[in-house]
C-alpha cells in the first residue's frame, strides 16, 4: 500500500452487514485509487467481537461503542447494528466529530430519523460527512439505469414497478429474531426490504414519492422464542412470542411528477430468496433491473424501428459502465459484495473530496416518512396518505 492519508474506521456491530462492510473496507482501497486509506481499526460488539476482528482483518476489537467513539484516533464510525441503536450511535458519533456511515433503514421512527438528520446537518457545517447504506444503488447496473433515465433515454416516465421478494419466513418454526420485533426493527418487510425498493426507485428515476396507499399484513403472528441465531433465522425453543411487525407490505405510490408506482415487499414469496426487481416504463423506452441477474440491465428502445423492437439484455460489465473500469475485463462478472466496496469507495471520496455523500441522512428521513405513511395508510383502510 502506498503511504497515504489514513482514516481509521470503527465498525459497530459484527453480524451479516459486519461481514459485508468488512469486505468493502478491505477491498475498496486495493481496487480504487482513494485519496485516503481506510484503516480497519476496531470492530465493536457486545460479545464475540474478538473473533470477528481476527476473521475479517480488523486490528482490534472492543465491547463498548461509547468508549470507541470517544477515542481521538477514530475518524469514521460505521454502524451495522439493528435499527433500534442507529440514532443513539450516529448522533453520538456525529457530535464527537466522526464521519458516519449508517446502515438502512436510517432509524426505527420518523422522530429518530429527524434527530439524526439534524445532527448530520449540524456536523456537516464542521466538515463531517454522513451517509446511509443503500448498497443496491452502488451496483453498476442500477447506477447505469439511473444514468439512462437522466440522459432522457426513457423519455417521460409513465409508470414504476418495484418488488423485493424473500421467503425465509414461510416456515412457521423460524424463530422470533430481531427483524420480527418492532422495538428492535421498527417495521418488518416494509422497512427491511421495502426501504430498498423505495430508495432504488427514487434513485433510478430522480422522482420522489409524495403519497402512498397501502396495506401491511402479518401472516404468522406467533413464533418460537429465539434460542440461537443462524443467518437471518435461527433455532427456536418451545415457548412462543408475538410477531409485532409486518410480513408483507403492498402499496401504491405517487411521485412528485404525478407518476404512479407499485410496490411489494414480502418475506412470504415462496421460492424467492432475494429477488429485487425494478421496472420503469417511459414514452421512449423502458428498463428492468433484477438483482438475481445483477450484472445485466434490460433496456427497451421504443424509438427503434418496429421490427427491431424488443428488450435488449445489456451486460453491464464494460469499462465504460459505472465502477467497472477498476475491476475485471468485460464479461467477468461482479457479485453482491462488490457494492460494499463501491460504498466504501464513495464514502471515502465524499470524506476526502467534499463530493456530496448520497444517500444522505435527509434522504433516509424521506424514506422513513414513506414507511410511516404506508403504515398510517394501512391503519386507515388503505387511504391515500401524504408524505
| Residue 224 binds ligand NAD, judged by CB under 6 A | no
Identify whether the C-beta of residue 39 lies closer than 8 Å to the C-beta of residue 22: no
**Nearest one of 232, 253, 221 to 367, comparing CA atoms:** 253
Q: How many amino acids of this chain bind ligand NAD (CB under 6 A)?
A: 20
Least Å distance, CB 177 to ligand NAD, is: 8
Select from 98, 99, 104, 267 the one that contacts ligand NAD (CB under 6 A): 104
DSSP annotation of 62 reads E
CB atoms closer than 10 angstroms to residue 200: 24
Interface residues for ligand NAD in 159-218 (CB under 6 A)?
Answer: 192
Which grid cell is 84?
A: 433500534
**Nearest one of 148, 374, 378 to 386, comparing CA atoms:** 374
Segments in 57-130 forming alpha helices (H): 65-69, 86-95, 110-124
Identify whether the C-beta of residue 154 lies closer than 8 Å to the C-beta of residue 334: no
- Residues with Cβ within 8 Å of 269's Cβ and at least 6 positions away in sequence, in order, are 165, 166, 167, 275
Least Å distance, CB 77 to ligand NAD, is: 12
Interface residues for ligand NAD in 12-41 (CB under 6 A)?
Answer: 12-18
Select from 4, 30, 35, 46 the one that contacts ligand NAD (CB under 6 A): 46
Give kind and range of the element (H or E) at residue 25: helix 16-31
Nearest CB to ligand NAD, comparing residues 4 and 46: 46
Question: Residue 49 to residues 13, 74, 92, 99, 120: CA-CA distances in angstroms?
Answer: 8, 17, 21, 22, 28
Interface residues for ligand NAD in 130-159 (CB under 6 A)?
Answer: 133, 135
Interface residues for ligand NAD in 71-100 (CB under 6 A)?
Answer: 80-83, 85
Least Å distance, CB 308 to ligand NAD, is: 37
Q: What does the alpha-carbon distance between residue 112 and residue 136 come to, in Å, rounded to a whole number? A: 24
Nearest CB to ligand NAD, comparing residues 155 and 234: 234
Select from 24, 29, 38, 45 the one that contacts ligand NAD (CB under 6 A): 45
| Residue 253 binds ligand NAD, judged by CB under 6 A | no
Among all residues, whose Cβ is closest to ligand NAD? 15
Least Å distance, CB 220 to ligand NAD, is: 20
Task: Using CA atoms of 223, 229, 232, 235 in order, give the dihedral in degrees to the nearest 10.
Answer: -40
Least Å distance, CB 282 to ligand NAD, is: 27
Nearest CB to ligand NAD, comparing residues 226 and 316: 226
Least Å distance, CB 236 to ligand NAD, is: 16
Question: Residue 354 to residues 28, 129, 149: CA-CA distances in angstroms?
Answer: 18, 9, 26
| Residue 341 binds ligand NAD, judged by CB under 6 A | no
Nearest CB to ligand NAD, comparing residues 115 and 286: 115
Give the residues lining the site for ligand NAD (CB under 6 A).
Answer: 12-18, 45-46, 65, 80-83, 85, 103-104, 133, 135, 192
Amino acid at each position: 500500500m502506498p503511504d497515504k492519508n489514513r482514516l481509521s474506521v470503527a465498525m459497530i456491530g459484527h453480524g451479516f452487514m459486519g461481514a459485508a462492510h468488512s469486505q468493502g473496507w478491505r477491498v475498496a482501497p486495493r481496487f480504487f485509487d482513494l485519496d485516503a486509506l481506510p484503516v480497519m481499526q476496531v470492530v465493536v460488539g457486545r460479545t464475540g467481537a474478538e473473533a470477528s476482528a481476527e476473521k475479517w482483518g480488523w486490528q482490534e476489537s472492543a465491547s463498548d461503542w461509547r468508549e470507541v467513539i470517544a477515542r481521538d484516533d477514530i475518524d469514521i464510525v460505521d454502524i451495522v447494528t439493528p435499527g433500534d441503536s442507529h440514532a443513539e450511535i450516529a448522533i453520538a458519533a456525529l457530535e464527537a466529530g466522526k464521519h458516519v456511515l449508517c446502515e438502512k433503514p436510517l432509524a426505527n421512527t420518523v422522530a429518530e430519523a429527524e434527530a439524526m438528520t439534524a445532527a448530520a446537518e449540524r456536523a456537516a457545517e464542521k466538515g463531517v460527512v454522513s451517509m446511509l447504506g443503500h448498497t443496491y444503488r452502488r451496483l453498476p447496473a442500477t447506477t447505469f439505469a439511473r444514468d439512462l433515465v437522466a440522459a432522457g433515454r426513457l423519455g417521460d416516465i409513465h409508470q414504476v414497478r418495484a418488488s423485493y421478494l424473500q421467503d425465509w419466513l414461510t416456515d412457521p418454526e423460524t424463530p422470533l429474531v430481531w427483524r420480527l420485533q418492532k422495538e428492535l426493527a421498527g417495521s418488518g418487510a416494509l422497512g427491511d426490504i421495502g426501504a430498498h425498493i423505495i430508495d432504488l426507485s427514487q434513485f433510478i428515476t430522480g422522482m420522489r414519492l409524495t403519497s402512498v396507499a397501502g396495506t401491511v399484513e402479518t401472516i404468522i403472528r406467533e413464533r418460537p422464542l429465539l434460542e440461537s441465531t443462524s443467518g437471518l433465522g435461527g433455532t427456536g425453543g418451545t415457548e412462543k412470542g408475538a410477531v409485532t411487525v409486518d410480513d408483507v407490505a403492498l402499496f401504491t405510490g405517487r411521485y412528485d411528477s404525478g407518476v404512479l408506482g407499485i410496490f411489494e415487499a414480502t418475506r412470504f414469496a415462496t421460492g424467492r430468496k432475494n429477488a429485487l426487481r425494478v421496472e420503469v416504463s417511459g414514452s421512449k423506452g423502458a428498463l428492468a433491473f433484477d438483482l438475481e441477474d445483477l450484472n445485466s440491465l434490460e433496456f427497451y428502445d421504443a424509438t427503434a424501428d418496429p421490427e427491431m423492437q424488443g428488450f435488449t439484455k445489456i451486460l453491464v460489465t464494460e469499462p465504460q459502465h459505472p465502477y467497472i473500469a477498476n475491476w475485471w475485463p468485460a464479461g467477468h462478472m461482479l457479485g453482491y459484495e462488490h457494492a460494499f466496496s463501491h460504498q466504501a469507495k464513495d464514502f471515502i471520496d465524499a470524506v476526502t473530496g467534499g463530493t456530496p455523500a448520497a444517500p444522505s441522512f435527509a434522504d433516509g428521513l424521506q424514506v422513513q416518512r414513506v414507511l410511516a405513511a404506508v403504515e398510517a395508510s394501512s391503519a386507515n383502510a388503505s387511504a391515500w396518505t401524504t408524505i
